[in-house]
Amino acid sequence: MAGEETVGLMNQLDGPLTIGGVDFKTRLIVGTGKYATNQVMVDAIRASGAEMVTVAVRRVDLDRTKEEAILHHLDPGEFFLLANTAGCYTAEDAIRYARLARAAGFNEFVKLEVIGDEATLLPDVQATLEAARTLADEGFKVMAYTNDDLITALRLEDAGCVAVMPLASPIGSGLGVVNPYFIREIKRRLSVPVIVDAGVGTASDACVTMEQGVDGVLMNTALAAADDPVRMAHAMKHAIVAGRLAFLAGRMPSREIAVPSSPTRGMLD
């Protein structure tokens, strides 16, 4: 099968992505929100090849009009669940959501997200740092969503985060990497994995992101809001691999002059 061949080849060309002591064969992490149907979600996630998938913690709707529990559709034996603290605006709330998520009993990982502004959904980095310190002290494996600021990224690493996740551009914007230099600088300076979280819109964005040398990409809307999420998931899977291998291969220098590819000698008179 083509899929297995790809995995086999990737094992020779690239190592696993290790986050908090857990190895992942793919560098794409996907969300589970905003899909038109649960079936499309599951099909898209399978097509993406992602092993780690994010979920949110919410109240059970006691006047249930539909089966909204994600675990009715996603097998926790098949996917590694990464609970998020999406929607939290204070460190205290994020800590509360993280503790609830851990009590569900799957793992110690949490995608920490503390939002500071409703319009841009940009992170409150001060509150994120505060929550990261508390959660890391409590034994959580914190993967922290942050902006593309190097100093915050370094502090999150110091706080004990197992991964730092700068945004490419605002959540759900699909604008791609607005500041590749900052992303590269964060990757250069951190020892923990750097996962770019949010802002990827299409396959080329994912590829360009991976070409910056980061360890992985987390996306949700780019798949869920595509006209054909399953087809886009296939595209993203390949884009992540392409960008990763291009980074590892080391690109040729770019220059603003032409250099012939064929010999200039041996031309006929």
Positions in the binding site for other proteins (CB under 8 A):
31-35, 41, 54-60, 62, 68-71, 81, 83-84, 86, 99-101, 103-105, 171, 198, 218-221
Residues composing the chain: 269
Distance between CA atoms of residues 222 and 227, nearest Å: 10
Identify which of residues 69 and 151 has a Cβ nearer to other proteins in the complex.
69
Are 176 and 168 spatial neighbours (Cβ–Cβ below 8 Å)? yes
Identify which of residues 45 and 210 has a Cβ nearer to other proteins in the complex.
45
Are 216 and 191 spatial neighbours (Cβ–Cβ below 8 Å)? no
Identify which of residues 83 and 129 has a Cβ nearer to other proteins in the complex.
83
CB of 31 to other proteins, least distance (A): 3
Identify which of residues 26 and 220 has a Cβ nearer to other proteins in the complex.
220
CB of 36 to other proteins, least distance (A): 11
Identify which of residues 60 and 119 has a Cβ nearer to other proteins in the complex.
60
CB of 62 to other proteins, least distance (A): 6
CB of 45 to other proteins, least distance (A): 11
> Does 187 participate in catalysis according to the annotation?
no
Residues 6+ apart with CB under 8 A from 191: 157
Identify which of residues 32 and 146 has a Cβ nearer to other proteins in the complex.
32
Distance between CA atoms of residues 81 and 22, nearest Å: 12
Q: Which string of b and e fits 155-174 if b means at least 16 CB within 10 Å?
A: bbbebbbbbbbbbbbbbbbb
Tokens of 144: 């922290």
Q: How far is CA 42 from CA 25, 154, 209, in A?
A: 19, 35, 25
CB of 140 to other proteins, least distance (A): 14
Catalytic residue among 111, 141, 187, 237: 111
Give one DSSP letter per residue of 174-198, joined into a string. ----S-HHHHHHHHHH-SS-BEEES
Residues 6+ apart with CB under 8 A from 221: 31, 33, 34, 171, 172, 174
CB of 100 to other proteins, least distance (A): 5
Distance between CA atoms of residues 21 and 37, nearest Å: 33
Tokens of 128: 């994120």
By annotation, the residues acting in catalysis are: 111
